[in-house]
């Protein structure tokens, strides 16, 4: 029997994540084109993201059923087993036979026919035990962090960090939130096209509701935003609400010069350009020229062709003669605030990465501060929950630049949705923070700096 397109797409995507270190969202975006039905696209996305979120727990069952270490199993066989067990244990509407048979056929398709009988046997057993609670299978000698890490499919080292900082109850809530499908939020880039956006979404049968945090955000309940006229013309952009908040915090006025140091993929740059206007100097910088080319096309479609693009390494001295009124550093980071949206990060990230990221982030901030005009404002932000990448970066940079100080952030009037209060987003130290279980967004941090 032919394999369903959804499972074929899911298998290929997961194999690329496993063997090439690709990001699932990028692979899916490339594969889920107009030729793929919405039903197949939804199932493929569910399998890929679900298998990645629950990978540690699924691998625990694979080792139990095969008596083999994960590292000894061929990647193609491992991916087929992960897909099958995810469907059997977590997707109640999927017939067991469909999950098992397609996994077996996928192994054959990958030229691993010798493993077909193993995959069949393992998944048949997994099907028989799929209704049993996970707790029945846990070893008795696990530490509290190990047990939570296995039950909620996170690395133990990350669980240990969060237990120390957040406590048990809040950590469990965060782990559970990271294993849920995140809300699909969009930014309405141009208020003047609000009615056109609404009409475009309705025409494409996209169901949506107002955003939770921002007045100009929407939350998609069903449908494909990317296939709407509003998306094609740049009136809306797919962007988490916490991410949408970052350019708002920079509080750009018309005519002010703006520098976006780590600009790709460009969602924040577009918002900054709209606020500054076509007569202002708006510079988007990034290390990779190919990403800048994609940005240039995207911003041109959205009517922001006046943005200037510069390829540079932001950790080095910046090549600008003039100072900027507003600077944004949305720094490359661990992404621990986005583990629901980018589940593979939890398996790629290592404890030593945080120290390396910290050093690079401090260098980015050091360089950018030299380009900030008197009375200007710089926003440093990340989508990380880790203090090494957030307040510790700001503190270290300020020790090297005593002429600057951190100032309390103020959210401009009229941008928040009804019922959202600024004091739930700005903490006592004046920084902006979102916490996924509390705000239903990615976890973001932002701090404002200016000259004394």
Whether 138 contacts 97, CB under 8 Å: no
Whether 443 contacts 338, CB under 8 Å: yes
Instruction: Kindly list the distances between the CA atom of residue 251 and the CA atoms of 10, 20, 312, 423, in Å, as whole numbers in the listed order.
Output: 42, 40, 25, 18
Phi-psi label, residue 281: left if phi above 0, alpha if psi -120 to 50, beta otherwise: beta
Residue 54 per-residue DSSP state: T
Is 186 considered catalytic here?
A: no
CA distance 111 to 442: 40
Three-state secondary structure of 122-175 = HHHHHHHHCCCCHHHHCCCCCCHHHHHHHHCCCCHHHHHHHHHHHCHHHHHHHH
287, two tokens: 């290390």
Q: What residues are paired with 260 via a beta bridge? A: 284, 328
398, two tokens: 């300020």
Which strands, in side-by-side order, build the sheet including 236-238? 207-210, 217-222, 184-188, 236-238
Q: What is the dihedral of CA 56, 57, 62, 68, to 10 degrees?
A: 50
Collapsing DSSP to helix, strand or coil, 418 comes out as coil
Q: How wide is the angle at C-alpha 14 spanned by C-alphas 8 and 18, nearest 5°?
A: 145
**Residue 336: which residues within 8 A CB-CB, separation 6 or more?**
158, 345, 349, 384, 385, 386, 443
Active-site annotation holder among 186, 262, 371, 383: 383
Whether 268 contacts 335, CB under 8 Å: no
Whether 396 contacts 362, CB under 8 Å: yes
Half-sphere exposure (Cβ direction) of 126: Cα atoms closer than 13 Å: 31
Would you give the distance in Å from CA 85 to the centre of its chain?
25
CA distance 89 to 133: 10
Query: Catalytic amino acids?
Result: 383
């Amino acid at each position: 029997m032919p394999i369903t397109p959804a499972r074929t797409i899911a298998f290929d995507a997961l194999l690329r994540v496993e063997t090439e270190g690709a990001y699932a969202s990028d692979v899916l975006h490339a594969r889920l084109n107009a030729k793929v039905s919405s039903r197949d696209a939804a199932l493929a996305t569910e399998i890929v993201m679900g298998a990645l979120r629950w990978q540690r727990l699924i691998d625990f069952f694979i080792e139990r059923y095969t008596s083999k270490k994960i590292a000894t199993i061929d990647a193609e066989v491992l991916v087929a087993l992960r897909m099958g067990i995810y469907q059997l244990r977590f997707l109640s509407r999927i017939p067991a036979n469909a999950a098992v048979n397609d996994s077996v056929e996928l192994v054959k398709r990958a030229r691993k026919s010798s493993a077909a009988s193993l995959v069949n046997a393992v998944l048949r057993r997994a099907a028989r035990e799929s209704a049993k609670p996970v707790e029945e299978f846990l070893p008795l000698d696990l530490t509290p962090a190990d047990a939570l890490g296995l039950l909620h499919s996170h690395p133990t080292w990350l669980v240990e960090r969060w237990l120390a900082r957040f406590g048990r109850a809040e950590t469990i809530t965060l782990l559970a939130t990271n294993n849920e499908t995140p809300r699909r939020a969009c930014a309405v880039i141009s208020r003047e096209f609000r009615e056109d956006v609404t009409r475009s979404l309705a025409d494409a049968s996209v169901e949506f509701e107002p955003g939770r945090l921002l007045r100009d955000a929407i939350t998609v309940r069903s449908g494909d935003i990317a296939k709407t006229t509003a998306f094609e013309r740049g009136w809306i952009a797919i962007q988490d609400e916490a991410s949408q908040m970052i350019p708002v915090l920079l509080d750009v006025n018309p005519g002010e010069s703006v520098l976006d140091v780590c600009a790709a993929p460009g969602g924040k740059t577009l918002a900054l350009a709209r606020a500054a206007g076509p007569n202002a100097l708006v510079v988007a910088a990034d290390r990779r020229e190919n990403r800048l080319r994609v940005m240039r096309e995207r911003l041109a479609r959205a009517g922001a062709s006046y943005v200037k693009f510069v390829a540079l390494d932001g950790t080095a001295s910046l090549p600008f003669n003039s100072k900027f009124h507003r600077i944004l550093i949305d720094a490359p980071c661990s992404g621990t605030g986005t583990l629901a949206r980018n589940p593979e990060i939890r398996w790629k990230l290592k404890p030593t990465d945080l120290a390396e990221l910290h050093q690079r982030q401090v260098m980015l901030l050091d360089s950018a501060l030299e380009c900030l005009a008197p009375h200007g404002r710089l926003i440093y932000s990340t989508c990380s929950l880790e203090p090494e990448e957030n307040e510790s970066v700001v503190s270290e940079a300020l020790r090297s630049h005593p002429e600057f100080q951190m100032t309390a952030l103020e959210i401009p009037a009229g941008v928040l949705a009804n019922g959202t209060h600024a004091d739930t987003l700005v903490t006592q130290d004046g920084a902006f923070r979102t916490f996924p279980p509390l705000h239903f967004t990615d976890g973001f941090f932002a701090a404002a700096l200016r000259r004394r």
